[in-house]
Amino acid sequence: MAEKFVSASDVARVAGVSRSAVSRTFTEGASVAPKTRARVMKAAEELGYRVNLLARTLHKERSDLVGLVGANLSNPYISAQVDALTAALYDNGLQCMLLNLARAQDDIENALAKLLEYRVRTVVLLSGAVPDTLMRLAAANGTRLVLINRPLPENIGLVDQIEADSAAGGALAARRLLAAGCSNVAVVLSESRTSAKLARAEAFIAVMEQHHVPITQWSQGRNTYETGIEAARGLLAKPGIDGIFGVTDEIALGVMNTARHELGLSVPNDVSVIGFDDAPISDWSSHQLTTIRQSLSSLTSATLKAITGPANAPCSHHFIPVSLVERRSVRSVEPPHSDAGGA
Amino acid sequence: MAEKFVSASDVARVAGVSRSAVSRTFTEGASVAPKTRARVMKAAEELGYRVNLLARTLHKERSDLVGLVGANLSNPYISAQVDALTAALYDNGLQCMLLNLARAQDDIENALAKLLEYRVRTVVLLSGAVPDTLMRLAAANGTRLVLINRPLPENIGLVDQIEADSAAGGALAARRLLAAGCSNVAVVLSESRTSAKLARAEAFIAVMEQHHVPITQWSQGRNTYETGIEAARGLLAKPGIDGIFGVTDEIALGVMNTARHELGLSVPNDVSVIGFDDAPISDWSSHQLTTIRQSLSSLTSATLKAITGPANAPCSHHFIPVSLVERRSVRSVEPPHSDAGGA
DNA sequence: TTGTATGCGTTATCAA
DNA sequence: TTGATAACGCATACAA
Query: pTM of the prediction?
Result: 0.90
Parallel, antiparallel or unpaired: strands A185-189 and A159-164: unpaired
Question: Which B-chain residues 110-129 have CB contacts (< 8 A) with chain A?
Answer: 111, 113-114, 116-119
Other CB atoms within 10 Å distance of the CB of residue B237: 10
What burial letters (b/e) apply to A253-292, b meaning 16+ CB within 10 Å?
A: bbbbbbbbeebebebbebbbbbbbbbbbbbebbbbbbbbb
Q: Which nucleotide is nearest to A25 (CA to C1')?
A: D11
The answer to whether A231 faces chain B, any CB pair under 8 Å, is no
Instruction: Encode pLDDT of A169-227 as tens digits.
Output: 999 999 999 999 999 999 999 998 788 999 999 999 999 999 999 999 999 999 999 99
Query: Which of A33-42, A220-229, B96-105, B293-302 is least confident?
Result: B96-105
Identify the pLDDT of residue B5.
80
The more confident residue out of A261 and B32 is A261
Chain B residues touching A83 at Cβ < 8 A: 72-74, 79, 100, 102
- Please report, for residues A3, B2, B46, B162, the alpha-carbon distance to residue B116 in angstroms, rounded to integers and kept in the order given: 14, 31, 35, 21
- The arithmetic mean of pLDDT across residues A135-161, rounded, is 84
Q: List domains and CATH numbers for chain A.
A: 65-165+297-321 (3.40.50.2300), 166-294 (3.40.50.2300)
The answer to whether B274 faces chain A, any CB pair under 8 Å, is no
Identify the pLDDT of residue B106.
64
Question: Which A-chain residues 135-174 have CB contacts (< 8 A) with chain B?
Answer: 136-137, 139-142, 157
Nearest protein residue, CA measured to C1' of C11:
B59
The reply to whether residue B99 touches residue A96, judged by beta carbons under 8 angstroms, is yes
Is the confidence at residue A12, as pLDDT, over 70? yes
Identify the pLDDT of residue B343.
36
- DSSP class of residue B314 equals P
- pLDDT grade, residue B3 (50/70/90)? low
- Please report, for residues A177, A179, A251, B139, the alpha-carbon distance to residue A332 in angstroms, rounded to integers and kept in the order given: 10, 8, 22, 61
Identify the pLDDT of residue B342.
41
Q: What is the CA radius of gyration of chain B?
A: 26
Is the confidence at residue B334, as pLDDT, over 90? no
Instruction: Encode pLDDT of B162-219 as tens digits.
Output: 999 999 999 999 999 999 999 999 999 999 878 899 999 999 999 999 999 999 999 9
- For chain B, the distance separating the N- and C-terminal CA atoms, rounded to the nearest angstrom, is 76
The reply to whether residue B97 touches residue A101, judged by beta carbons under 8 angstroms, is no
Is the confidence at residue A341, as pLDDT, over 50? no
- pLDDT grade, residue B1 (50/70/90)? very low
The minimal CB distance from B140 to the residues A6, A139, A261 is found for: A6
